[in-house]
Chains A and B, each alone.
Chain A
Amino acid sequence: MSDKAPIVEMRKISKTFPGVRALSDVDFRLYMGEVHAIMGQNGAGKSTLVKVLTGVYKQDSGEVLLEGKPIKPDSPLAAQKLGINTVYQEVNLCLNLSVAENIFIGKEPMKLGRIDWKTMNRKAAEVLARLNITVDVTRTLSSYSIAVQQMVAIARVLDSSAKVLILDEPTSSLDDSEVEQLFKVIRKLRDEGLAILFITHFLDQTYQISDRITILKNGDFVGEYKTDQLPRIELITKMLGKELSEFSYSTNNEDKAKASAKARKDISAVLQVKNLGLEGSIEPFDLDLYQGDVLGLAGLLGSGRTETARLLFGIDSADQGDIFIKGKKSSISSPRHAMMAGIGFCSEDRKNEGIFAELSIRENIILALQARRGVLKYISMKKQLEIAEDLIKSLGIKTPSAASEAKQLSGGNQQKVMLARWLATNPIVLILDEPTRGIDVGAKLEIMEQILNLSREGLGVIFISSEFEEVLRCSTKISVLKDKAMIAELNGEEMTESGIMRTIAGGR
């Protein structure tokens, strides 16, 4: 394979943003019929490399060759015309259009000079079926969850007869079965001769699907390796620049946390929910969260985890049931109420519901704390910087300064900013909906460590993740959801991956 000429070759690419050297002299080669993974920490420059290749950014120096000829695409449209199809990291679709249109817009099937809606809808359903998704393709995309949206973004590029396919963290909010489905399709395309560039932070997935790995670190090119010749531990070391064992995280610790949480069960419940529900959204459920508990919500895509979180945070108002915080009945009818009562919530949709793109990182971080203190009790600039810089440091947010705009951060770092925002408020209960989405291995461990630390200090955490493994690792107990209902709570020994799967398969 490698003796053939590469279809895409990027030579000595450099790209600087104000204050940040995102790429310096990076080489990259992509061959036909291979899946090539790019690995690196948050902010290593992966997305930037992709955007240079597809004409979103113009490199400062270096050249891009396609089939041996230099190309200079000046827009995604130009790249598309050259046969390069891309799914960008943040879901970039139009929520106001139908699912089918999002897949086909720009290349709609035409009949007699007009768009052939019937064929389009049929084909869209077919493409999605290949990914095992059955949705009403005539509905607007906004009525579906982030996960479905991500599948639609993927479906959009699968459809065409491209030469190169680029997927920037396509799996970050998919569950295992979806990922498996996606990989089936990717393998098929690879065998058909497509060149596929794949970015993910999941090591398992990298090893499952990729043939070759390019590692970036801090914008520098570290090396290009055959996947089967690069042991995991080496990969991590090369990515992070240090041994994984340097991280303080250990299972031992975790067990202690779980044990101590159990011991404290007789202490106080921070959050109790009785028969809370909303018709059409989630069926009534009970929930007890004690100090130091980490409650994991496990379930498949669309099982109602996000809805549960929205209800608890007052985004949707329940039509029945009660919420008690520290034993006191609280009427939570808006996020503001929830926040004042000591609940924090990191949304899974960071682009639309989390990040203020044009505000500085400092402002993004202190916003919730400030809202909690009220308009008048302005946090002094000095204090703000202190808080922000503290969190930037402790979460390892990669940025030139706290004054940079949030939109200049890489995806994973934006996610950390959202987490920082809620940590700054010192909540009693913290709800995290896919907080590890798009976060690199190192940082993921750090974040989970943070969560455990917080719970040790008496915080109650509700943790939602599509990765059962993560849920299992963090949680002191797990609620399993299915079809918009909480079907079981797992404790102690029951908390295993197969336990969860069995519950989902068997229950109700």
Chain B
Amino acid sequence: MKARFSINSRNLPTLFTLGLFVIMFAVGSLSFPGFLSPQNFLNLFIDNSYLLILGVGMTFVIISGGIDLSVGSVLAFSTMLSSSLLEKSHWDPLLVIPVVLLAGVALGLFMGYIIQAFDLPPFIITLAGLYLARGLCYVVSIDTIGISNQFWQDAAHAQWNVIGQNFISPSVVIGAVVVIAGVFISRSTKFGRTVYAIGGNEQSAILMGLPVARTKVMIYGLSGFCSALAGIVFTFYTLSGYALNGKGMEMDAIATVVIGGTLLTGGVGGVFGTVFGVLVYGTIQILIVFQGTLNSWWTRIAIGFLVFLFCLLQRVFESRKVGKAKKPEAKVPAKSPS
């Protein structure tokens, strides 16, 4: 009983995020006709599956105390690479997918290796990665490349009905699989727990004899994998490769992770939180579209304001929680003299 409660209390930030998401969705439903529909809810997943996948990779990076600014560019690069391989080189889709994923992993491992081996700040190395991947996009082509490949077309147009006439796309399924895998890796594998340990205290993790060097490199490899996969999902979404895709998307990914309750200082948070972070981010965007009269510039102010409001509420709830949780914490270490 006790154990269950304490696990819950560790998940509280995530639950707050979920609660706030529900409130936001409810406000939208009450304010706008057509907002409260199953399809509108499912659209959140259809439209954000790539962000969800990026977010899962980014969650690991941030929990380890690092950051990966290259995700948007790597996503763009994999859209370029896959469209170019499909349309210009006419490769088989079943070959293209692994090659693109491998390219993403390789880029990630490369950055991870430099960060780890030379003790350099992830911010700078992944910023270089951001430029590098973006530059590679232009090297592939500065034009957009439309994808006419049948497999991709099918993936893009497929709609699977789930509740009545409401549908999801294959990307949603891919996103779901990634989330489940992410949750599993973070909670139930040695790799996942080492990521948390590194984020908690890297020096301690080394002294505890954990494979810190290897794990750190792998974290960026994993993020590279997620970025590449998100790129493929993105091409299912847009059926094209475009060098300017995903500009600034790294900030979206970071924001969703952090809104989901993961601390940028590392060690605290989780994949589930990121799912809700993505939902909140998506809902903010839908709300603004439904509102529909904001000028471009007011749109930005509104997004800023909603993020602010959300984070503020989150902080208020969190400080309440800390205040209340203090009691049991202080009592536990007490023990009788022997």
Contacts and interface: CB of A to CB of B under 8 A. Distances in A.
Given A96-B267, A302-B335, A279 B327 contact: yes
A499 B243 CA distance: 79
A76 B197 contact: no
B206 A75 contact: yes
Contact of A92 (B208, B268, B330): B208
Nearest to B3: A138
Contact of A76 (B190, B199, B208, B333): B208
Nearest to B204: A92
Interface in B286-309: none
A92 B335 contact: no
B320 interface: no
A56 B207 CA distance: 8
Nearest to A116: B188
Interface in B253-294: 267-268
Q: How large is the interface on A (under 10, 10 to 19, 20 to 34, 35 or more residues)?
A: 35 or more
A148 interface: yes
Contacts of A181: 338
Q: Decide if the interface of chain A is mainly helix, strand, loop or mixed.
A: loop
B338 A77 contact: no
Contact of B332 (A75, A95, A135): A135
Contacts of A376: none
A282 to B, nearest CB: 9
B119 interface: no
B88 interface: no
B333 A93 contact: no
A94 B204 contact: yes
A275 interface: no
B338 A281 contact: no
B335 A133 contact: yes
Interface string B5-29: 0110010000000000000000000
Given A97-B196, A280-B327, A156 B334 contact: no
Contacts of A117: 188
Contacts of B334: 302-303, 483-484
Contact of A139 (B209, B267, B332): B332
Given A135-B332, A504-B337, A140 B10 contact: yes
Contacts of A88: 207
Interface in B302-338: 326-327, 329-335, 337-338
Contact of A95 (B200, B203, B211): B200
A60 B337 CA distance: 47
- Interface size class on chain B is 35 or more
Contact of B205 (A86, A94, A121): A94
A160 B330 CA distance: 30
A134 interface: yes
A93 B204 CA distance: 5
Contacts of A147: 333
B193 A97 contact: yes
B333 A92 contact: no
A390 interface: no
Nearest to A135: B332
Contacts of B268: 96
Contact of A484 (B194, B201, B330, B337): B330
B338 A139 contact: no
Contacts of A483: 334
A80 interface: yes
Contacts of B200: 94-97
A499 to B, nearest CB: 15
Given A108-B190, A136-B2, A92 B209 contact: no
Contacts of A132: 335, 338
Interface of B: 2-3, 6-7, 10, 184, 187-190, 193-194, 196-197, 199-201, 203-211, 267-268, 326-327, 329-335, 337-338
6 contacts: A77-B206, A93-B201, A132-B338, A133-B335, A301-B333, A504-B337
Task: Identify the 7 closest CB pairs spanning chains A and B, nearest first.
Answer: A94-B200, A96-B267, A280-B327, A96-B200, A114-B188, A80-B209, A302-B333
